Structure 1
């Protein structure tokens, strides 16, 4: 008897973008992994903390969650990261949602 049940085992060629910016509050470096998995949400990795999360544009509206997810010092920093990611994450399309669902 198996101790676990495999939920998925997929391979794909993923696009990865490394992008960073600096503001008056700090430096931010992110890796963005674009994939068709996970409802088309890209995996966003903070290169400083190693923290990662699947994010879509609507996830960027909750600054408290963004601050907690990436261990940011203030809501001001969370707002800066939100604006930055909003300009760099793809909008989910109905096609991507249909492929995932």
Structure 2
């Protein structure tokens, strides 16, 4: 068996916010993780959908990014983007 080669193995302090809200079509159950990594971006986990993305203000401006990252329709992605724009 070959020796394991780590690129990094760090433990960092994080701040995690759990939030749940609804729009007309969907329920959003999110975990939002902030740390010193990822150049000020946050990790957003869609708990029910099982998907996550590293998101910053630039990502929210990119057309179709939220739809693709979280596999959701345009209306739900707009709702999620509006919420996330208050955080990042």
Q: TM-score range by the shorter chain?
A: 0.7 to 0.9
Q: Which structure has greater strand proportion?
A: 2
Q: Which runs of 5+ in 1 are unaligned?
A: 90-101
Correspondence 1:39-50 to 2 at 5 A: 39-50=39-50
Instruction: Report the secondary structure of 1:76's partner residue.
Output: helix
Q: For each residue in 1:2-59, what CA deviation from the matched residue of structure 2 results, as whole angstroms up to 9, or x when unmatched?
A: 6664222211121100012111121111100111012121111001111111100121
Q: Deviations over 1:51-84 (max 9, x none)?
A: 1111001211224121111111x21111111001
Partner of 1:85 in structure 2?
Answer: 84
Q: Is the 8 A contact 1:28 1:46 kept in 2?
A: yes
Which residue does the alignment assign to 1:51? 51
Unaligned runs of 5+ in 2: none
RMSD of aligned C-alpha atoms? Answer: 1.8
